[in-house]
Amino acid sequence: MKAALRNLRWRERGPELAAMAACLLAAIALTWPMSAHLLTRLGGDPGDPFQTLWSWRWMHDALTSLRNPFFTDRVFFPHGASLVFQTFDVPTAILTVPLWWFLPPVGVYNAGVLFAFWLTAYGMYRLARELTGDRLVSVCAGVLFTAVPYHLAHVQGHQHLVSMGWLPLYLVHLHRMLDGRARRRDPLLGGLFLGLAALASWYHLLYGMVLTPFLFADAALRRREVLFSKRFLAQAFALAGAFLVVAGPLLFTILHQRSVEPIAGAHDAVRFSGDLEAFFFPNPAQGWGHWWGGHAFRWTGNAAETALYAGYALLLAALAGALFAGGLARAYLAMALGGALLALGPYLHVGGKVLREVKLPYLLLEKLLPQIEFMGVPVRLGYVMYLGLVIAAALGLSKLRRGRSPVAAAAIALVPTAVTLVEYTPRRFIETEVVAPAPMLEWAGDPAQYAVLDLSGDYRMMWHATLHRKPMTGGNITRVPERLERWYWGEPIVQALRRPRARSELIFERVDPSLDFDWGLDAPDPRLRPDSFQIEWTGSLRIPTSGPWSFFLSSDDGSSLEIDGNLVLDNGGFHPLRERSMTLRLEAGEHRVRVRYQEGSGKAALRWDWLGPGQSRAPVPAEALSHEGRPGLLGRYHQTMKGCRQTREGGRRGLRALGVRFVVTGPDGHECLERELQLPQTYAGEGVRIYEVPPE
């Protein structure tokens, strides 16, 4: 008897475990090669993931020390800042807390990404299984929902949007309520999952508010006796109560803080609106994007915020669902159309042009929900479109499979799925190499209290802060009160170091016999740094024979040639090695010349050739050039210096007043710190330079 019960349980649980495993394999495949470098490379671009990772590190530190995770002095020290607006993806941040005890930071972040992908696939699988009862179609629905362009575009940096699976789990229990099948736990679980969706990203709460009315409308047509019953009303109150218990405290805190002071950081809704073309052409985050005539490069937004490509195979399957599967499939297709329309934003965009005379329903949504103006990325409502299409397609394919032979039934599910996956092919998954500077790991174990001023970059500083776990002067968080922004940029030492004034300083002069240089990544002379230098050569050019003379100027980066005060060649700007040429008639004799060169960064090279009567093309020789009787041209070598106009003691005093002990820069250092403040450099390597502020 016990063996029979075990076999029965396995028959029930085995397929479910297999579906969960399929969802995990889809998560690994769609984020590959992240799993191959799980502990060594960050799964995402070198931007927002650093901010998310810092948030998770803070969540761990706050919870394990019984502190408020939604306020910290680790940014905008010494004032500190509220983190209620921070894009934590709170559920994943909490789930990763124990991972910090045995995984490196990169491993923690990548594990969170994998979990979010698995959850997205599994959540959609559970919803499709609830509505169709068809396990194969449901697995296909889970895989497709994980692979939609919205998901794979945002995985490069927006972890809070990648956690797409909580909302389908909410819909599972809502459907049970609307169908009259709910048990006592279903409203509570529905509220729990809606709350977790909101805590992952408030966009998911917005999506829930958009899609739920479509299901209520469908229930009003097909289940009026359930929808308008006292039992359903009680369940709805229970669901709302569970949601408020889970997400209400943070939601009300956000609304309160928004009401008492201005918050900086809202997006421009017009810029981040969907383009009508985006439904029909892949965006730059997809592997096919460049095959379609470059349409996507004209749209407003960016690679992550133009993802609306529906996919022709999925669209046909969804239409089949509306045709063959009846009312619920039509409700989900209507939901998809509603999400697509709202994703277009307040005004119609076509081919990158904003047609402000064509106003769209998003303007009405802004009036009904004024808080979404603070979010400001309408194109993200494409989530609702994808969810509606996938479920409508699942309902249709499940209907078409019934009564078919096993082979035909499998093909009906697998062929549209495979074709859609090909259509959705993403570009190669982005990974970021990161290094952990040794001193920062030491600071994490130092009990002394001090702040760090990090000038290495807005996002790189958050990676460093994840390592050293010390307070920062400033910081890069999702939303910040305007008063903190004003305070930060109003500090003279911050203004001086973050926005130094550039000036050109003459370093040395010398006579160069000819202008034929290829310095590569080096400087022309040890007295110069390899980047950010300028050279000006002046003197005379002797033309041996009157006639047409051609001049060729090749440079990496910019250069120009003047003869007798007239600009002859302009090869300016910052660019790889590039040649410009000009032919003009010159009389024999001496002509005044000036050649200018500017190097930004990277490789450096300059070559000046001529070609004329009886003269083949070659670098202009020294005997044709002169400066005060000497062969060649006089070169004046300048270096771009960034001065902050701070005195040594005044600058140091300003840093000490902010509690700063260490200042971090990129690998090139900071001239103001070295020349004006004369701070001792304590470390150079692993992509940073570190300077220490001496005590008084």
> pLDDT digit string (tens) for 118-144?
999 999 999 999 999 999 999 999 999
What the block records as the tokens of 187 is: 């409203």
Average pLDDT, rounded, for the chain: 91
Q: Is 231 helix (H, G, I), strand (E, B) or coil?
A: helix
Please determine, for residue 5, whether its predicted confidence score (pLDDT) is greater than 50.
Answer: no
What is the DSSP pairing of strand 71-72 with strand 81-82? antiparallel
Say if residue 98's pLDDT is above 80. yes
Whole-angstrom distance, CA of residue 163 vs CA of residue 52: 13
pLDDT exceeds cutoff 70 at 11: no
C-alpha span between 569 and 583 (Å, rounded): 10
More confident residue, 490 or 246: 246
Q: Return the pLDDT at 173.
A: 97
Q: How confident is the model at residue 2 (pLDDT cuts 50, 70, 90)?
A: low
What single-letter amino acid sits at 48? D
- Geometric angle at alpha carbon 348, from 347 and 354, rounded to 5°: 85
pLDDT given for residue 415 in this prediction:
95
The answer to whether residues 608 and 513 touch, using CB atoms and an 8 Å cutoff, is no
**What is the predicted pLDDT for the residue at 188?**
97
Peptide bond preceding 695: is omega within 30 degrees of 0, i.e. cis? no
Helix, coil or strand: residue 680? coil
Q: How do residues 63-72 score in pLDDT, each as one tens digit?
A: 999 999 999 9
Name the pLDDT band for 6 (thresholds 50, 70, 90). low
Contact 391, 131 (CB under 8 A): yes
Please choose, from the candidates 389, 375, 372, 194, the residue with its C-alpha nearest in 3D space to the C-alpha of residue 308: 389
For 318, 320, 402, 416, the CA distances from 312, given in Å and listed in that order, are: 10, 12, 23, 10
Residue 369 has pLDDT above 90, yes or no: no
Q: How confident is the model at residue 8 (pLDDT cuts 50, 70, 90)?
A: very low
pLDDT tens digits for range 400-423: 999 899 999 999 999 999 999 999
pLDDT of residue 290: 67
pLDDT over 80 (residue 266): no
Confidence band for 301, pLDDT divided at 50, 70 and 90: confident
Q: What is the pLDDT of residue 284?
A: 82
Give the span between the Cα atoms of 280 and 277, in whole angstroms: 6
pLDDT band at 647 (very low <50, low <70, confident <90, very high): confident
Question: Would you tell me how many other CB atoms lie within 10 Å of the CB of residue 674?
Answer: 15
| Average confidence (pLDDT) over 575-595 | 90
The per-residue pLDDT for 409 is 92
Q: Is 616 exposed, middle or buried (0-12, 13-18, 19+ CB in 10 A)?
A: exposed
Work out the angle between the directed axes of helices 166-178 and 105-132 (0-180°, nearest 10).
Answer: 20
Residue 25: per-residue pLDDT: 96
- Tens of pLDDT, residue by residue over 472-493, are 999 999 888 999 999 999 899 9
Q: What's the confidence (pLDDT) of residue 602?
A: 82
CA-CA-CA-CA torsion for 116, 120, 122, 127, nearest 10 degrees? Answer: 150
Please tell me what DSSP assigns to residue 284: T
Mind listing the domains of the chain with CATH numbers?
Answer: 16-69+78-423 (no CATH), 438-500+644-692 (no CATH), 506-640 (2.60.120.1560)
Tokens encoding 70: 């939604």
DSSP bridge partners of 609: 552, 619
Please tell me the distance from the alpha carbon of residue 351 to that of residue 277, in angstroms, as a whole number.
6
The stretch 453-466 carries a mean pLDDT of 93
625-640 residue pLDDT tens: 998 888 999 999 998 8
Give 198-245 pLDDT, tens digit per residue. 999 999 999 999 999 999 999 999 889 999 999 999 999 999 999 999
Packing angle between helix 460-468 and helix 48-64, nearest 10 degrees? 20
**In the chain, how long is the greatest CA-to-CA distance?**
112
CA dist list (Å): 474 to 68, 74, 489, 630, 665: 20, 9, 9, 55, 14
Closest CA to 562 of 539, 588, 530: 539
| Contact between 208 and 170 (Cβ < 8 Å) | yes
E strand residue ranges, 124-196: none
- Which helix (H) or strand (E) is 309 found in, with range? none
For residue 457, give the nearest of 86, 157, 154, 46 by alpha carbon: 46
What integer is the mean pLDDT of 360-373?
88
